[in-house]
Amino acid sequence: MRAPETADPAPAAIEVRSLRKAYGEVEAVRGIDLRVARGEVFALLGPNGAGKTTTVEILEGHRQRSGGDASVLGHDPGRNERALRQRVGIVLQQTGVDGYLTVREVVQMVAGYYPHPRDTDEVLALTGLSDQANRRVRKLSGGQKRRVDLAVALAGDPELLFLDEPTTGFDPSARRQAWETVRGLAALGKTVFLTTHFMDEAQALADRLAIIADGRIVATGTPDELIGSGSAATRIRFRLPPSVEAPERFGAHRVASAWELETDTPTQSLHDLTAWSLETATELADLEVTRPSLEDVYLQLTAEEAAE
Amino acid sequence: MNDLALAVRQIGYENRAFWRNPPAAFFTFVFPLLFMVIFNVLFGAEAAAFFTPAIIVFGVVTATYTNLAMTVTIARDDGILKRIRGTPLPGWAYLAGRIGHAVLIAFLLTVIVAAFGALVYAIDVPWSALPAALLVLAVSAAAFSALGLALSGFIPNSDAAPAVVNATVLPVLFISNVFIQMENAPAWLDTVSHLLPVRHFADAMMALYASGADASLPWTELGVIALWGVIGVVAALRFFSWEPRR
C-alpha cells in the first residue's frame, strides 16, 4: 500500500483507512481507520456484533473487504499472499486440529509450513503445554485446546499475531495465564492485534486500543487517554450520619446508604468537602475517590452509539 | 521444505492420525470383506468371479469418494480447513495430503480384497493384466477423490454429510454392476448407468479379471472415468469451501 503520510517514522504493522464490509444489505463495518505500530499490543474492544471479528478476519485475509484500504506488514491482506501468511500467526475464535495427533506433532506439523519456525519445545513452554506435549489433542480440556490454538499460531515465529477473543470461556486463573503469555509475546517484540469484549483485558494488555460499536470506531488511544478523554467524571463517595444531609452545593445524591458525587475537578471538590466536614465536625465515613474505569468510558461510548 | 515435500509430509500426518483410531481403521478394511462374504453366501460360490472385482470397485469408491466427502466436510465444520488457510501451506498441498492418504487406503483395500478372493474363493489375481489394472485403479481413485471433494462443496454441514453422501453413492452402486448384476436391467437403466463413472470402473475391472493373458487397456471406460474426474476437479475448484457454513 501507500506510505503513511504522517511524519511518524515508525512503520506501521497494520494500517486501515475507511474500511468497509457489507453482507448484502447489512453493513458490519462502516468505514473504520486504524493504525497499529510495530511491537505494539493493540486491542479492538467492543460488544458482540460490533464488527470486531469481521474486521480482524479481513486483516487476516479470511474475508474480502467491500471498500477502503488495508495494509498488513506492507501487504494487501485481500490478496492472501503466502509471503504475508509466513509472517503472521492467527488464533481464530473457533478452529480445530486433528484430535488424533499429539500436541507436539500438531505444533511440529504447522512449524514445517514456515521458513523460520520457532523451536517446538520453546513454543510449548511459552504456552504452558510442556506437560501435555505427548497427549493427543482430543484428550485435552477446553482451556488446554485453546492454548494449542495459540501454540499453533506461534509455531512459525510470526512478527504479527491476531488473537480473536483469546480468553472467551476461560476461568479467571486461565485468563491471567493467557495474559501473561500475551505479555511474554510483547516482550519478544511481537505485534499483537487482539479483539475482546472484556474491558479489563484491554486495560491489562493493550498499549493502545480502539472501541468499536455498530461498525464504527468511537474512540481510540491508550487506556489512560481514553479514561481521561471520556466525560465520565471522577466519583467521590462517603457516608454521613443518618440525621445529616449533604449541602446542596456539592451536588451529591444518595446512593443506598451512601452519598455520591461526580466531578471533573476532584481536587477542588475534595477540598470543599473536607473543609465542610472539619467546620461542622461531621465525619465523612468510608470516604472513597474513584477514577472512572475503562468500563465506564466503554459503556458510555457504546451507549451513545446505540442511541444515535 | 518445498511444496511437494510438504504434501507428502501431509500424507504422513493423515496416515498417523488414521491408524490412531483403531476401530475406524479396522472396519474400513473389514466392511468390504463382509459384503463379499454375504454376497457369496446369497448367490453361491460361482458368483465370486463377479464379486471379487465388484467389491474392489466398492472399496475404492468408498475409500476415496465417500471418505473424502465426509471427512473433509467434518474438517471444514471443525475449522481445521480455515486454520490451514491462514498458514503458508498451499491449499493444494493440504488437499493432496488428504487425497494421497485416501488413495493409499484404496490401494491397500484392493490388495486385501484381491487376496481374500484368491485365498478364500480361488479367484486368481490377473497378474498379466496388472499394469492395466493399476492404471484403471489410479485413474478411478483420482477421479472419485475429485468428485468427493466437489461433493463436499454441496454439503451444508457435517450433520448432513452421511445422508447426502450415501444418497449420491448407494443408488449408483446398485445400478453399476457392483452389488447386483445388470444383465436383466431395463435398457433405459442400463443407459443411465453407462452415463455414470462407477459402471465403467466396474466393467473395466471385471474385464481385466476375466481377460487372462490377452489383457488390453479398456480405453472407453478409462475415458469416461477420466471425464468424470475432470468434472470433479472443475466443480471442486468452483464449489469447494474452506470456511464452515452455518
Share of chain A above pLDDT 90, in %: 49
**CB pair distance less than 8 Å for A96 and B87:** no
Q: Which residues of A182-207 are buried (b: 16+ CB within 10 A; e: fewer)?
A: beebbeeebbbbbbbbbbebbbbbbe
Cβ contact, residue pair B6, A86, below 8 Å = no
> What pLDDT band is residue A4 in, cutting at 50, 70 and 90?
very low
Q: Residue B160 is placed in which grid cell?
A: 448432513
Distance from CA of B44 to the nearest CA of A (A): 42
Window B:69-128, CB contacts with A under 8 Å: 75, 78-80, 82-83, 85-90
> Does A156 contact chain B (CB < 8 Å)?
yes
| Nearest C-alpha neighbor of B62 from the set B144, B174, B181 | B144
B215 has pLDDT over 80:
no
The reported pLDDT for the residue numbered B233 is 95
User: Which ipTM was obtained for this model?
Assistant: 0.89
* A296, three cell numbers: 465506564
pLDDT at A160 over 80: yes
Give the least confident one: A84-98, A205-219, A285-299: A285-299
Q: Domain segments of chain B: what residues?
A: 3-239
Cβ distance of B89 and A95 shorter than 8 Å: no
Question: What tens digit of pLDDT does each residue of B28-40 get?
Answer: 999 999 999 999 9
pLDDT reading at B102 higher than 70: yes
CA distances from A174 to A140, A142, B7, B93 (A): 14, 11, 36, 36
Which string of b and e fits A36-49 if b means at least 16 CB within 10 Å? bbeebbbbbbbbee
Q: Is the pLDDT of residue A230 over 70?
A: no
The confidence band for A292, taking pLDDT boundaries of 50, 70 and 90, is confident
Nearest to A240 by CA among A283, A207, A271: A283
Mean pLDDT of the region A4-29: 81
Q: Give the domains, in start order, of chain A with CATH numbers.
A: 12-87+159-228 (3.40.50.300), 233-291 (no CATH)
Number of Cβ within 10 Å of residue B164's Cβ equals: 18
